[in-house]
Amino acid sequence: MSEISRILDQMDRAISGEAWHGPALSTLIEGLSAEQASMHPVNGAHSIWEIVNHLAAWNRIVHLRFAGTPADVTPEMDWPPVWEASEIEWRRSLDNLRESRASFRAAVERVRDEELSSQPAGTEWSRYATLHGVVQHDLYHAGQIAILKKALGSGVKKAGA
């Protein structure tokens, strides 16, 4: 198995499941309403929706860098705002996350193991470190979402329920 295949496996597990750490990101956001996703149950913390937008943004940012385009990340690019808390916009954010990950994943599939030591455009990290960082980033925010769901209380549908 190539190193890229192992990294892709870890990326997939963080998003789609069968990770030993606990529920995957897709499981955590499954069944949430726009109202629930937009709430701020922890003072000073981002909402689940804001985190979803942030994850999609970083899929695009890292994808750009891997394609050779340096990305100067602005605060709004880093944490895209939720402009309208409606079910339609929530579905759009979820679709955006899925599409940004699918596009980035397809680009990662084309990376050869020999390229892992090279640096993506405008970064100080190798492709190898960046890809592992993407997995770590996904899992960090999945943990935040799990805590936010607990803070929302019993009104949130549990995965598998």
pLDDT tens-digit profile of 59-117?
A: 999 999 999 999 899 999 999 999 999 999 999 999 999 999 999 999 999 999 999 99
- At residue 18, the pLDDT reads 80
Q: Of 18-27, 31-40, 70-79, 120-129, which range is least confident?
A: 18-27
- At residue 157, the pLDDT reads 53
Q: Are 145 and 48 in contact (CB under 8 A)?
A: yes
CA distances for 123 relative to 37, 105, 111, angstroms:
32, 19, 17
- At residue 20, the pLDDT reads 80
Q: Are 66 and 105 in contact (CB under 8 A)?
A: no
> The tokens 């690019």 sit on which residue?
77
Q: How far apart are CA 122 and CA 140, in angstroms?
A: 24
Domain count, the chain: 1
Instruction: Report the half-sphere exposure of 19 (CA within 13 A, side-chain side).
Output: 24
Is the residue at 69 inside a domain?
yes
Q: Of 19-33, 78-92, 121-135, which range is least confident?
A: 19-33
Mean pLDDT (whole number) for 19-29: 88
Is the residue at 157 inside a domain?
no
The angle, 0 to 180 degrees and rounded to 10, between the axes of the packed helices 127-152 and 3-16 is 10
Is the residue at 160 inside a domain?
no
Is the residue at 15 inside a domain?
yes
With 90 as the cut, is the pLDDT of residue 154 above it?
Answer: no
Domain housing 77: 3-152
Taking alpha carbons only, the member of 54, 98, 48, 49 closest to residue 75 is 54
- At residue 156, the pLDDT reads 52
Mean pLDDT (whole number) for 133-148: 96
Taking alpha carbons only, the member of 21, 14, 6, 7 closest to residue 97 is 14
- The residue with greater pLDDT, 105 or 17, is 105
With 90 as the cut, is the pLDDT of residue 159 above it?
Answer: no
- At residue 160, the pLDDT reads 43
Is the residue at 140 inside a domain?
yes
Query: Please, what is the end-to-end C-alpha distance for the chain in angstroms?
Result: 36
Is the residue at 159 inside a domain?
no
Tokens representing residue 119 in the block: 């640096």
Q: Output the domain CATH number for residue 59.
A: 1.20.120.450
